[in-house]
Chains A and B, each alone.
Chain A
């Protein structure tokens, strides 16, 4: 049965554009149903702002089912809020209490410049994928999918990594602004599969080095794993590091042969 929360204060980050310095703005929410999702609360706030003739708060969102990776938001200093394994769009107001002050900020990372208000540009992630986050398999002429049997545990562990939605919470949560969990999830998804073996070492080298161009370094804080809405294990980073180390030797050897 739905109950109501009362007297919430939203402290929302407003920033006109990438070059604006930005500031917090307080809004009172007198009453809201605990059935509302966090983003629906922002919808209600925006409806009210428009009614007052003010500009709506800009924020990224799309599927609202926790699978597209578009929504973001630091909520009270935590990426996607305090509910484990949950993206902002699936966070509901029943996780808050009447009288709470809720601080809402965009992802804070130098690799993710702020576009406006709560929206950031995450295209640095695309650069990492473009550099090697794929298996080269041009369309047409693919072999029968059952030709290479894939042991169930291997398929399952690749799937665990493939669940990454690329939202960037790992980067936002990391004190160094590192993207190791994201990159490692993508690397380990492909590097664990038999199909991914041919490009295994080239892939990891290219992706890690592209990552280093944009993002900070990993110092094993583990904040990324805690913030990940898909609960991707930090173990994938160890796998990436191991493959990267091997790649630095192996790729050099392979190159010297040609």
Chain B
């Protein structure tokens, strides 16, 4: 499939990097020991997105697609057990509208912004997936979240997002921290003997390219031991001086020039002279709406594609494979599977937007948004989002414990109650109101956050992006429990955020046998 994707995207004009002979170039990526990843400078994902956008625009121009810009899905309508359409809120006018259809596809991304600080774009939210969940779609493995090791560390309390530095940097950068917690010398003045290149030491074969979860936890442990670097001692060094000496500054500049510039703009330091400082941040969520092999959720007619679903990655995701999934789902899976559902419905009428279920969903949406406006409390949606994010990061972030998760599950409902009583949304509901949009999203993040913690508490093992401190080997590696947890946890909405019902789907391995990959 990935070969088809590259061929397709190249045919559409995505400018993948080429060798001098004109063939496609490759490079290595986290979790891989060979160069096998196609790339377009440090912005492969962006270029693939633009390529898909151009094809999409072509269809818009041809009249095959109608776009509703600046509209947000606020509910999925289910009639007689089938997904029959959606309810949206026009962000420009606040008007609630319905669209009826034979099938609904959610390609609405992941929920990483539940942490408040993440590498996701600011508008990413869980609302579409969550509203489908509340209408009966199962939400699978919400605790599988990926923390990316190469982000710029937080610099202050008001920080709004964390910037990802492309993982390709780990190809040539060496990760290290000082050996002594009381180190005060500048990076350059610390001699080799006083540096700990901990990834190379712990994982000699993968070294600086160890997978994301392993690299992230190793960085967290170094910082937790007080070995962190930078003004807040909250990062580790990613040092390019060896690469610059070996390859020359020109080569390093060609490979990473734009990333170095970006780093300098944000951190105010020049990474050609001073090592970069990096620290892990939430980047991707492997969990999502449960789907079958046809990408259909348990609600007939409702599909979920890309990061919005739970499929493909299991408990962890390797570099570049989210792009693969998004493109495979959209270009090569859905076009072939959705027809199976649609064919028997030929010439059959579907419920229109005047159906009572649509009217009911519309009214609920109106009440919901009016509700936010009428609380008249004292705290903004952003304030609540930040507090929610702190709880999730502290107790359901890189390392989780039973005690911590239980604490989170007692703090979250309390904060959610406060949200309902003390929220303040200024402005009105009949015009563009970003504060009101945010309130709706934070509401859904609260409910999802509780499910995440519940799922993490339920999974008494460490597995990929889910690391429970109680379950680790003597060397600090994740310890799975295949006897009891070799399954997908698909949660069903139980009427309120604190009472989800668990459905278990066993994982069967027929051709490839279950093993533990060693990165040593």
Q: Which residues of A contact B (CB under 8 A)?
A: 1-2, 16-17, 33, 35-37, 39-40, 43-44, 46-47, 49-51, 53-56, 58, 61-68, 83, 85-86, 90-92, 94, 115-116, 119, 123, 126, 129-131, 133-137, 139-140, 142-146, 148-152, 154-156, 158-159, 162-163, 165, 189-190, 193, 195-196
Contacts and interface: CB of A to CB of B under 8 A. Distances in A.
Interface stretch (B155-163, B294-302, B487-495): B155-163
B16 to A, nearest CB: 7
A236 B164 CA distance: 30
Contacts of A133: 54, 57
A131 B17 CA distance: 27
B519 interface: no
A144 B23 CA distance: 11
By DSSP majority rule, is chain B's interface helix, strand, loop, or mixed? loop
B224 to A, nearest CB: 23
A142 B7 contact: yes
B261 A85 contact: yes
B402 interface: no
A49 B41 contact: no
B519 to A, nearest CB: 28
Contacts of B435: 46, 50, 55-56
Given A137-B55, A165-B46, 10 more contacts: A2-B156, A40-B158, A55-B435, A90-B266, A116-B431, A144-B7, A145-B11, A152-B18, A154-B18, A196-B13
B8 A137 contact: yes
B181 interface: no
A241 to B, nearest CB: 21
B16 A145 contact: yes
Contacts of A40: 158-160
A191 to B, nearest CB: 10
A149 B180 CA distance: 52
B262 A159 contact: no
Size category of the B interface is 35 or more
What are the 4 tightest A-B residue pairs by CB atom distance, in nearest-first order? Answer: A149-B22, A130-B61, A145-B10, A142-B11
6 contacts: A17-B431, A40-B159, A63-B121, A116-B432, A130-B61, A162-B47
Nearest to B4: A142
A144 B4 CA distance: 8
B11 A137 contact: yes
A196 B54 CA distance: 13
By DSSP majority rule, is chain A's interface helix, strand, loop, or mixed? loop
Contact of A189 (B13, B23, B57): B13
B504 interface: no
Interface string B229-251: 00100000000000000000000
A193 B16 CA distance: 11
Contacts of A64: 121-122, 160-161, 163
A115 to B, nearest CB: 6
A43 B47 CA distance: 29
B352 interface: no
Contacts of B22: 148-152
Contacts of A16: 431
B368 interface: no
Contacts of A129: 53-54, 57
B376 to A, nearest CB: 9
A126 B12 contact: no
Contacts of A196: 13
B383 A47 contact: yes
B134 to A, nearest CB: 26
A161 to B, nearest CB: 8
Contacts of A146: 23-24
Given A116-B432, A162-B50, A92 B268 contact: yes
A155 B17 contact: yes
Interface string B72-114: 0000000000000000000010000000000000000000000
Given A2-B155, A152-B20, A163-B43, A83 B265 contact: yes
Nearest to B435: A56
Nearest to A210: B61
B431 A145 contact: no
B60 interface: yes
